[in-house]
Chains A and B, each alone.
Chain A
């Protein structure tokens, strides 16, 4: 049984208002049967410093990524992980996190790979909850483990691989990294560890729209009107477009994937999670430098 939706007026302008809840809604619904709150942060220890009461933690490194291959966890590991956190297939999952819900959006995207139906983001994430001085606790949640079914991970609809990008030329690409990464001045985010890309620049024809432009100063999503101005008017996307978004390892572009898919209603948006740490190391792929997108190469 899905938990009721948040009727907040701001959400009604979005394509899929059922994908968001407000801090106020969450406060009122804490403890509702069938609802599990998940915190997902960049910092693996932030949850332990204090979290929303009864929220469980999912860490992008240790829970969502395969420990050996560069890939997401498989069906069995995902089922085990969710079962251990007390999540069932029909649970309403509300995810929140730090940094404008950056990693929360990544977790939501991985849940979507496994077809979990009712997964939502807390608009404004951890930052807004904290700013409003709502309760945080270090008390461990009481978890009743469940049997989460082993379901197939279905990558094709929302995940792009390198060969998909090469075949996609001529259709819109969105590069959501910082301007310095896009132009090729640097291969990683300022102040972040060098994750090793041999070449700098961007995939030719990709429009530059740094991911955090979709967030307001209070970490909530910008309004429908503001988002349309950025992605339709500026970046030139229009209805019916097939879009691929990418960044460095696919985390920031999950945030943009959420915006394009659930807030603006684009269908078939894919996240290229190999992103620049694959493309910038790959042999025989085209790269453009500078501030201009560059012409789209022939699709291969």
Chain B
């Protein structure tokens, strides 16, 4: 049992574990402010996507319009790019967590990220379970793209 716990703990990529721990260390109201920091940090799209919105895929399960693109670079490292309007900070925050947390991982490492990661970072109560589904959908979409080999 103990061994199993250690294994699952180490399976979560370091950056995602770090983000989770950052949230869990805070009291509920401060977790929202950390999510706002992530929302503020969501980088603008690289110009090659900004100029080609057709390359981006809309995540229809999300409440607000969010478009994302997953790519694998020459070193086989995954990068997730996303854009969502300023009026949708929660969605921007979710996208930013995934963009930072998945960045540089291998394809297999991303596929190994537990599907319920969004439910483990201490936001379910502050944000509500229904809204967390938006982040779960984004993670699922990123994995699907990688599985399909389109990225």
Q: Which residues of A line the B interface, CB within 8 A?
A: 42-46, 48-49, 59, 61-62, 67, 98, 190-195
Contact = CB atoms under 8 A, between A and B. Distances in A.
A46 B137 contact: no
Interface of A, secondary structure class, is: loop
B60 interface: yes
B61 A45 contact: no
Contact of B36 (A45, A61, A62): A45
A42 B130 CA distance: 12
Given A49-B36, A49-B86, A193-B133, A44 B61 contact: no
Q: Which range holds the interface residue count of chain B?
A: 20 to 34
A42 B88 CA distance: 9
A62 B29 CA distance: 12
A48 B62 contact: no
From A43, A61, A67, name the one whose CB has the most chain B CB atoms within 10 angstroms. Answer: A43
B140 to A, nearest CB: 12
B131 interface: yes
Contacts of B130: 61, 193, 195
B87 A46 contact: yes
Contact of A191 (B35, B39, B62): B62
A48 B32 contact: yes
B83 interface: no
Contacts of A192: 63
27 contacts: A43-B89, A44-B128, A45-B32, A45-B127, A46-B88, A48-B32, A48-B36, A48-B89, A49-B36, A49-B86, A59-B128, A61-B127, A61-B128, A61-B130, A61-B131, A62-B125, A62-B126, A62-B127, A62-B128, A190-B60, A191-B58, A191-B62, A193-B62, A193-B63, A193-B130, A193-B133, A193-B134
A48 B64 contact: no
